[in-house]
Structures are given as C-alpha cells and as structure tokens.
Amino acid sequence: MARHALLTCLHISLFLFMRVSADGTQVESATAPGDFIIGGIFPLHEDVDRQNVTFEPHLLPCIRFKERRLVKLLGMINAIETVNRSPPLTDVNITLGYRILDSCSDVDTAVRAMADFMQSNCSSSAGVQPVTAVIGASHSETSIAMARQLTLKMIPQISYSSTAVILSDKNRYPAFMRTVPNDEHQTAAMASLLSDFGWNWVGIVTTDGNYGQSALDHFVSQASLKGICVAFKSVLPQSVTSQRIPTVIRHTAETILKNPKVQVIVSFAKPAHMTDLFLELHRRAGQRMELMKRVWVASDSWSTSDALKDNLALSDIGHVVGFTFKSDDLSSFNEYLSRLVAAGPKSVKNNPFVQEFYMSLNSSKGSRDSELMAEAAAKLKEHAYADTIFGVETAVSAIAQAVASICRNSDCKTPGAVKPWQVLKALRMKEFQLRGKTYKFDSKGDIDLGYNVIKWRSVRKGYIEVHNVVSEYHLHNNSFTNTGQHLYNLTHIVSKCSNSCMPGEFKKTAEGQHTCCYECINCTENYYSNDTDMDQCLSCDVHTEWSHQGSSSCNRKALLFFSWHDGFAIVLVAFSVLGIVLTLLVSALFLHQRETPVVKASGGPLSQVILFSLVISYISAMMFVGQPNSYQCKVRQVLFGISFTLCVSCILVKTLQILLAFQLNPELQLVLRRLYQPYVIVSICVSLQVATCIAWLVLKSPSNLTIRLPTTLLEYCHEGSYLAFGVMLGYIAVLALVCFICAFKGRKLPQHYNEAKFITFSMLLYLISWMLFVPVYVTTSGVYLPAVEMVVILISNYGDHPQTQTHGNPPGS
C-alpha cells in the first residue's frame, strides 16, 4: 500500500515538474491558512484561449472572466469563515483554511489544478499544506476528471452542481459526493412536466461531453416511458471555443425552424451555447420573430444564466421554464458581500480573482472609489443566486462537521494526523446540520433535495427575472407543487407531431414512424373509443350493445317484441276482449234460458262447452302479445290447440246430430244412432290433441329466444318442433274438414233449421284462413310474426260464434 502511494506521488510530482518547467508559472489561487485546508475548484473564466496551441505543454491563458462564478467562490470563503467562528469547530479548537483554483471551464486546466492538490498531499516540504477535501467542480466533465485523480488518495470531493448520473457509481468514483440531485431525477422531472402539459413532440439540444450525453440518454429513456417522442437531437461541441461551434449552431437553428410542430425544446447545453443559438435563430427569423418562439425547458446548466438574460429579449425567444436546485436564505451571505466591498480591493490581496474582478470594473468605471464600490456591490449581489451558494455552503458545513467529529477523539493539531480517507468515511457515515436542518449523503453520495421550477419573466424593458419560482418538484413521489405562481399561460401551446385523436377515433402509426406521429382513424361499427389519443378502439358487448362508425360510446340495443303498447296489438287485444265479452253474454243467456226448448234444441250443455272453449281460445290469442317468456311460449300454442279442438269436436258432434236427425236412409240412421255418443266422441277427439301437445312439450317444447340484430334484440317464441306444431294445426284442420263435409251434406235441411249452413260457413272460413296462414307465417319474420297467428285465431273464433246461437226449431217441434 505504501509502495503504491509512493509511486502515485512520484508520478504526480513528475507531472507537476514538467508543467512548471514548461510554463514557468504557478497556477493562481486564493488562499487562507488553517489546521485543515479545503481545496476549491471554480470555473471563474468561461474558457481558455486555444488559438496559439503548440506541441509544447504549457498553461493556456483563461479568457472571459465571469462575475457570477466569482460569487460561488466567495460563497465558499464566507462559509469557511462562518464555520471557523461557530461550533463545532470552536469546540475542538481547529480552523479550516482554503486553497481555491480556477478551472477556466476547461478539463485540462482542472486536471493541472488537481496535480497541485495531489502534490501537496504527497509532500509538505515546500510549506504547502495538504488538502483534506476538495469542493468542486461545477461542470460534470470536470468533476469526472477530478474524481479519477482524487480517488487515488481517497480525498473527499463534494460538488455543488455536477449532476451527471455516472458520478453516482461508487465503484468508479468512491470519493465523490454532491449536494445536488443527479440528472436522473432532473430528466424524470422534465419528462413529467412535458407529460403534464401534453407535449409529446420535442427537440433536444445538448453537448457532447459526459454531462450532455448522460443527460440525453436518461431524458430519452424517461420520455419514452411517458409517451414522449424526440423529433431531433442536436449535439453541440463541449468547448464553447471549438471551431465547429458556428457550423453546428447554424445547423441546429435550421433544424428548429424546419420543425414548426416542435414547440418545446429541452436543452442541457451551456449558457454560451444557448446565447449563440438564440442569436442565430434571431438572425434567421428576421422580421418574423414568431418563427423562433418556443418553450425552452432549461436544465440547471443554464436556467439561471445571466449571460442569456443580458443578451436577449424574452419576447423574442418565447418562454423559458427551467430547473434549479433547492436553496435557503441568503441574508448572511449578502452581509458578507457588503463587508467585502466596503473593505475595498486592498483587503483581498490573497485572492487574485477578486482583484481581477476589481480591475475589470476599474477599466470601465475609472478610478473613483465611490463608483467602484457601488458597481462592485451591485454586480456581486446581482449574481448571488441562492441555489448555487446554498450548495457550496452545504459542502463546507458537511466537511467542517466531519472534521470536528474526528477531532473530538483525535489529536488534530499534529500535521498529517487526520487522513483524507478518514474524513471521507465520516462524511459518508454521519449526518450534519445546517440552519437547523439535518442532512446526510445517501449510498450514492448524493443529497436529494428536489428542484425548484422557475419561469423567466420580463420585469421591465431590457430586464429579465430568471429566479421566478413557480413550482417545486419532489423526488420521493415525482410530483409538482405550485408555489403561488402558475404555468397556466403555457397550456395553449401545442407541441405534437399529430393532433389529438378525438373520442370515436384511434391512433394508427405507420411502420417506421415515431409513435407520436399517426393518423386518426374512425372506430368501426360496434367499436368505440371514449378518450383522446387511444391506441385502439374498445369493443361493444355485441350481445346487448351497438355503435355507429366513429362512436365514442356504445348504445344499448333496443329490445323488440309484439308489445302491449303497439297500436296493432291494442286493436287485436280489443277484438279478443270483445269476443270474450260476447261469448260470456251468450253463455249467461243460455244458462238463464237453459230449460227452454229453444236452448235445448241448440245443443244444451254442448253449447256451453263450445262457449267455454271459445273464451279459452280468445285468452290464448292474447298470450301472443307482450315480452315472451318460457312459460308463455309453452302455454299459448297448447292452450289454443286444445281449446279449439274442444270447440271443433263439439261442433262435429252437433253436425253428426243433424245428420242423425234428418238421415232418410233407415239403415244408415240405425248405424249413426248406435255410434252417436256425444261426450265419448268429444273426449276421444280432445284426448288425441292432448296427447300430441304433451309429446310436443316433452320432446321439443317451445321456448323464448333472442335474435341479435345489428342495432336491436328481437325476442320471440320459437316453436321448438315445427312438426309438432304442424300436427296440432293439421289435426284441427282434419276435424274441421269432417265437420265441413258433414254439414255440407245437410245443407238441404228444412227452411226453419239452418244450423248446418252456419257450420259449413264457419268451417270453410277456418280452413281458408289457416290455409292462408301457412305461407304468410313462413315468409314473415320480426316483431309482427305473433300477430299473424293472432289474427287467424281471432278470425277462427269469430267464425264459430254462429254455432252458439239457435237458428231454427228442432224437428217435430
């Protein structure tokens, strides 16, 4: 283990010697002494000047100093000075110092700075104290490069804004921690935001570094789970000074303008990239500024950038909705800035970066101290953003309390007594407090506090407020909570490849296309869709429901049968009731006059039987009306068959009585008298029909069935066995034919006895009506099929009424 550490230090020392001898200059740093030195890496400059790159290794000059990034550095210094004056460090009588370097937003420069830190940890012979922990960096690409080196000595590294997911891999970066959530949470929040607004056709702008590629991959994955499609991806060079930047920016602007349906663009790019892109869009749009307006969903990398708001008009670019880290009160830090500015430039001799800041102000404002101080205060406080300052303060508090926990049981005054890995262990294992709240790094080394959602707004002409918090995003349940402000003015914006399919339609995606690009097809008959953008139509219950083409719901199938409310049914029932009333009146009259010769001559008791059978037949006719049921279907045909057989049998007996009374052939008359047993004949005739009906009911009885038509349900009685039905009707027809023949032979009776004529007429009417019934019944279907048989029954019944009346005197009267 010692040999490995020695080799590591030798390698770093050789690297540092080559760097110094090649360039001849040391890296500038802001320093302060202490018992433990905390390293800091901040991108105070926007890039390095690569125009004069040679084969000889040397430090590249940093360009474009940024005041906003200086405020982060001052946040670290203020936090260290604050914890030095507060428990728990005062309890163990130790202090923290710092050594802060500038990465110049360049990975190579940051690696050289790490060489300085690692050199100090290998040997303190040069009077440089070793670093106990490092705070930084800002960009994920830089943090990844730093983490690889710091892991060699297990020096704790805490970043305040690096969010790449890969840094949560503790197998690769065991010494890395951060005070912000990783991008997996941010991309999930972005996807949820897009889904809530129904934006499923978006573009992505990112960079080709580790941060940009990781964010792109995770966003695409999260978006696909929400049904969001990516119309295009534009990957910009990581370095803002790359020679490829102008070409890629032009291509990106062209792509955006060629996709007018993409009204929402998610960006993980750097502020400088977005500034160049907006300016290029502005140039291409010309006078038609509405062409470039979009909803820009900004990651934490540029959502609060002052570089953008100082160069753009919000009315030109549309809407900016961004994600920032959770923050806390900044009042103590603002007081520190006020004290710092009041002390003047001479008070920061150990901080070349603050001196550079004053120099930049002095060149533009002159040398008058009053103007210089006022400008400095305004600049610093303008860029004091709570989210980044809070992340730096959290990192300092965590380190301070971890060191204090070790020093309670150790001698921390002896140089080298506390190793960085011990501090790392304490950081990972212990909780720490900040402003009354308790925090702890999770198993991935992250502190997941959630996000603030901001929406840029124009406060006045030429000024954009970027820290306008409108919502909070909670990691534990993937939800948003409004904070008084609202995003409602974005609800009218549509960012879809295809318009939403309305209820009654479904989405049909062509093969090879995005799932968000589709055409809307009407649902076919008996299918429906009851929501927008359904992938397929739902089937109606074909047994009880139906729908038109393009329906959004199913209709209940109407139940059809020969209803009591049907006009035709009312008429037929009225005739049935009338027949029953007439029959009962005649029966009552016959009973009242039963002892008179006239009633006795008309048949006596047999007439009452005929009248009774007609009443039953009328009742059976009414059973053809109404919703069919199993009992009704079985009873109505059998009831009619037996009752009408009884009626015709009695008429047959009366016909035989006529022939017997007026038969002139003595021999035939003698035979007829022997055979004439009225009640036996009636019983035998009816018994045969009863046997037929019983066999019908037992073997294959009638039942109620339902025919499923496209839009209706037809309920009807199925006769079961049409053979049995035909035998029943045929048997009645045979009896009627015998009656007709016998009555026809007695048609020349005396003038005062004309019953045979009426029997002939009745039986002929019966035979004709039932002969017509057969073809009509066979060719008719639907609701009125029962009415056909009902009409024929009524005709038959009314045709038999003349038989129940006395039409002449008996012979010999």
Residue 602: per-residue pLDDT = 62
Q: Tens digits of per-residue pLDDT, 537-590?
A: 999 998 899 999 999 999 999 999 999 999 999 999 999 999 999 989 988 888
| pLDDT surpasses 50 at 14 | no
| pLDDT for residue 690 is more than 50 | yes
- What type of residue sits at position 363? S
Retrieve residue 811's tokens. Answer: 């012979």
d(CA 457, CA 466): 7
The answer on pLDDT for 20 being more than 50 is no
Query: What pLDDT sits at residue 3?
Result: 44
Give the other-Cβ count within 10 Å of 672's Cβ.
Answer: 16
pLDDT at 7 over 50: no
In Å, how far from its chain's centre is CA 672?
91
**Which two tokens mark 416?**
């080298």
More confident residue, 309 or 379: 379
pLDDT single digits (tens) 167-188: 999 999 999 999 999 888 999 9
Of 539-548, 617-626, 696-705, 752-761, least confident by mean pLDDT is: 752-761
Q: Which CATH superfamily is domain 567-804 in?
A: Rhodopsin 7-helix transmembrane proteins (1.20.1070.10)
CB 651 within 8 A of CB 685: no
The type of residue at 489 is N
Nearest alpha-carbon partner for 522 in 540, 541, 508, 542: 508
| pLDDT score recorded for residue 53 | 63
| Statement: residue 806 has pLDDT above 60 | no
Structure confidence at residue 52 as a pLDDT band (50, 70, 90): low
- What pLDDT sits at residue 674? 72
Instruction: Answer whether residue 249 shows pLDDT above 50.
Output: yes
pLDDT grade, residue 16 (50/70/90)?
very low
498 and 515 Cβ atoms separated by less than 8 Å: no
Nearest to 394 by CA among 176, 161, 166: 161
Higher-confidence residue of 468 and 439: namely: 439
Question: Which pLDDT value is given to residue 178?
Answer: 94
pLDDT of residue 805: 54
Does the pLDDT of residue 311 top 70, yes or no?
A: no
Distance, in Å, from the CA atom of 31 to the CA atom of 107, rounded to the nearest integer, reads: 22
Distances 744 to 140, 759, 761, 798, 804 between C-alpha atoms, Å = 117, 8, 9, 20, 18
* Long-range contacts, stretch 215-222, CB < 8 angstroms, 24+ apart: 215/163, 215/164, 215/183, 215/186, 215/187, 215/268, 215/299, 216/268, 218/165, 218/183, 218/184, 218/187, 219/187, 219/190, 219/191, 219/266, 219/268, 221/187, 222/187, 222/188, 222/190, 222/191
Give dist(CA 277, CA 281) in Å, integer. 6
Helix then strand count (H, E) for the chain reads: 25, 29
Question: For the domain bounded by 499-556, which CATH number is listed?
Answer: 2.10.50
Between 291 and 384, the more confident residue is: 291
Lowest mean pLDDT among 190-199, 365-374, 708-717: 365-374
Contact of 448 with 185, CB cutoff 8 Å: yes
Which residues face 298 on adjacent strands? 267, 322
Asked which of 357-366, 566-575, 589-598, 778-787 is least confident by mean pLDDT, the reply is 357-366
The CATH architecture annotation of domain 183-324+450-490 reads 3-Layer(aba) Sandwich (3.40)
**H helix or E strand, kind and range, residue 96:** strand 96-102
3-state secondary structure of 563: coil
Mean pLDDT of 256-263: 93
* From 51-65, 260-274, 388-402, 527-541, the region with the lowest mean pLDDT: 51-65
What percent of the chain is predicted at pLDDT more than 90?
41
| pLDDT tens sequence across 502-535 | 999 998 887 767 888 889 999 999 999 999 888 8
Q: Of 32-36, 80-84, 102-106, 146-150, give the lowest mean pLDDT range.
A: 102-106
Architecture of domain 2-181+384-439: 3-Layer(aba) Sandwich (3.40)
Q: Residue 195, CB half-sphere, CA atoms under 13 Å: how many?
A: 17
Give mean pLDDT, residues 116-144: 77
The residues pairing with 145 across neighbouring beta strands, listed in sequence order, are none
By mean pLDDT, which of 160-169, 577-586, 598-607, 634-643 is the weakest? 598-607
Range with lowest mean pLDDT among 258-272, 736-750, 779-793: 736-750
Q: Is the pLDDT of residue 2 over 60?
A: no
Average pLDDT over residues 343-352: 77
Pairing between β-strand 437-439 and β-strand 432-434 as defined by DSSP bridges: antiparallel
Domains 2-181+384-439 and 567-804 equal at CATH topology level:
no
Query: Mean pLDDT score of the chain, rounded to an integer?
Result: 84
pLDDT score, position 691: 94
Lowest mean pLDDT, pick from 232-246, 404-418, 483-497, 530-544: 483-497
Tell me what pLDDT residue 751 has: 57
Phi first, then psi: give them for residue 299, nearest 5 degrees: -75, 175
For the segment 73-117, what is each residue's pLDDT rounded down to a tens digit? 999 999 999 999 998 899 999 999 999 999 888 888 888 888 877
Higher pLDDT, 410 or 619: 619
**Domain coordinates of the chain in residue numbers?**
2-181+384-439, 183-324+450-490, 331-383, 499-556, 567-804
- Grouping H, G, I as helix, E, B as strand and the rest as coil, residue 510 is coil
Closest CA to 177 of 359, 478, 439: 439
DSSP characters for 321-358?
EEEEE-----HHHHHHHHHHHHH-GGGGTT-HHHHHHH
| Spatial distance between the Cα atoms of 83 and 97, rounded to a whole number of angstroms | 11
- pLDDT score recorded for residue 195: 92
